[in-house]
Structure 1
Amino acid sequence: MNPAPEVVVQPDAEATAADAADRLITALAAAQRARGTVSVVLTGGGVGIAMLREVRSSDRRDEVDWAAVEVFWGDERFVPAGDAERNDAQAREALLDALPLDPARVHPMAALDAPEDAGGGDPDLAADAYAKVLSSAAARLGGDTVPAFDVLLAGCGPEGHVLSVFPDSPAVHAGGAGVVGVRDCPKPPPTRVSLTLPAARHAREIWLVATGEGKAEALARAHAGASEVDVPLAGLRGTERTLWLLDRGAAARLSVAD
């Protein structure tokens, strides 16, 4: 059984983003001392991108050797490259463009307008292409078909979705550790590409970063043991650690917030 979540509560969204950024720098630097090249899976969303901006402005930023960091995404909106809706476009603006990253170690998911042989035009092709990227990376980073990511970052929705895995959707029923195309997503844009929950669970550490009272009910249900089919965030557990970084609103229905 993967570890139960550790819960850390900050006063508000700004403090949550700042705390998550500081912890990420610490975690990546420590993993580099232990293993050399390290890997992080990025997320989108308001607080996820705010966290990346906090990393960018941190006076501790250079504690990490960014040239030895492999960057992945947990899910992506299947829209054209450079579209402001894309998680990778938001991440580049918030942080990545300011870092001395090795471009060969930055692994975005295919865009809608990518060449067909690179996964463009169809989310299932994009999913297959990213699965190959992950398999190749696993040979370098440890793992079988999916790397043993050092840190996987995720947000959640008010109904408990994580990545682009929604309650009782085809993606939450997908078997195996892989990548899936998502159609008819209940949250726009409707077409996406996402890691499955089994793929995400290859991460050593999974950090859920969530703020706002709108997330409180789903978090409480997941914490109480809800099925991942009903509340997908309940199935998001790291092999070594699961950390929930919340503000008071998001944690309002958890006993740890009392």
Structure 2
Amino acid sequence: MTVIVHPDRASLVGQTADRLAALLAELTEAQGRATIALTGGSVGIELLAALADRAVDWERVHVTWSDERFVPADSPDRNARQAREALLDRVPIPAGNVHELPAAAGPGVGDAGLDDAAAAASAMLAELGQIDLTLLGMGPDAHIASLFPGHPGVHEPGVGVIAVRDSPKPPPERISFTVGAITASDRVWLVVAGGDKAEAVSLVRGGAAPEAAPAVTAAGRRETLMLLDAEAAALLEEDGR
């Protein structure tokens, strides 16, 4: 894992957007398309909003999500809805290039089924093929995607999407990439800002157990970056990591 520290949140967001736009240009030129798994969270959505102002060949970019809140498709809690408002509705990406994870049925529609949704998302992930980049945020508890400390998801085998119940963060039902799906990506970028994340960053860099800090498991096949602002990196300077 390579750690890159930016002086503040604004520079973290802006320079990571530049880095991402450059990567997308490189990938679409070299292989004809690029496939990225997006993340939610405040910094993740700020990054997507910044990316809307960069030059990207959106016709050749495919996007999906590393996790999703299992709520109706029109819920403001959906990562996909937030990403559409921040980025996807503002750029000329073809509708067929946007691969949302399944949503829960709305009122009066019937039970969508969390396990069925996870299975459908796993099938979609397999059909989508190699993920060039998985973007991840990290919580103050060192969770990534919807893999939480003390929950069994961090040990779920395989490269796919799992059902998550009793999430410590609302809403309680979610679907999430497995660790295997994350580590099957060519690149994984952890984008983290804020002093409330400093202890989690230190845990990850110190090699904590996955049960205590699921973000320890985040790694790409070719590249793993931890992109931080100075506040999130504060304890690294103290302990020399």
Coarse TM-score class (shorter-chain normalised): over 0.9
The equivalent position to 1:207 in structure 2, one of 180, 184, 189, is: 189
CA 256–82 in structure 1, closer or farther in 2 if over 3 Å, else same: farther
The equivalent position to 2:203 in structure 1, one of 206, 210, 221, is: 221
Give the equivalent residue in structure 2 for 1:72.
64
Q: Percent identity?
A: 43
Deviation at 1:255, TM superposition (A): 3.8
Give the equivalent residue in structure 1 for 2:121.
130
Q: What are the Cα deviations for residues 63-107 of structure 1, in whole angstroms up to 9, with x where unaligned? A: x21111110100000111121110000000000011111211210
Give the equivalent residue in structure 2 for 1:144.
none
Query: Is the contact made by 1:251 and 1:257 (CA closer than 8 Å) also made in structure 2?
Result: no
Deviation at 1:243, TM superposition (A): 0.6
Deviation at 1:224, TM superposition (A): 1.4
Give the equivalent residue in structure 1 for 2:73.
81
CA distance in 1, matches of 2:60, 2:29: 11
* Structure 1: runs of 5+ lacking an equivalent: 115-119, 139-147
**Aligned positions of 1:134-153 closer than 5 A:** 134-138=125-129, 148-153=130-135
Give the equivalent residue in structure 2 for 1:12.
8
**TM-score with structure 1 setting the length:** 0.88
Letter in structure 1 aligned against 2:43: V
Query: Is the contact made by 1:40 and 1:72 (CA closer than 8 Å) also made in structure 2?
Result: yes
CA distance in 1, matches of 2:32, 2:85: 26
CA distance in 2, matches of 1:111, 1:85: 11
Letter in structure 2 aligned against 1:52: L
Q: What are the Cα deviations for residues 14-50 of structure 1, in whole angstroms up to 9, with x where unaligned? A: 2111111111100110111111111011000001000
Query: Is the contact made by 1:76 and 1:194 (CA closer than 8 Å) also made in structure 2?
Result: yes
Give the equivalent residue in structure 1 for 2:45.
49
3-state SS, counterpart of residue 149 of structure 1: coil
2:150 pairs with 1:168? yes
Query: Is the contact made by 1:248 and 1:257 (CA closer than 8 Å) also made in structure 2?
Result: no
Deviation at 1:257, TM superposition (A): 9.2
Give the equivalent residue in structure 2 for 1:95.
87
CA distance in 1, matches of 2:239, 2:116: 43
CA distance in 1, matches of 2:115, 2:59: 31
- Runs of 4+ in structure 1 over 6 Å off: none
Aligned residues: 237
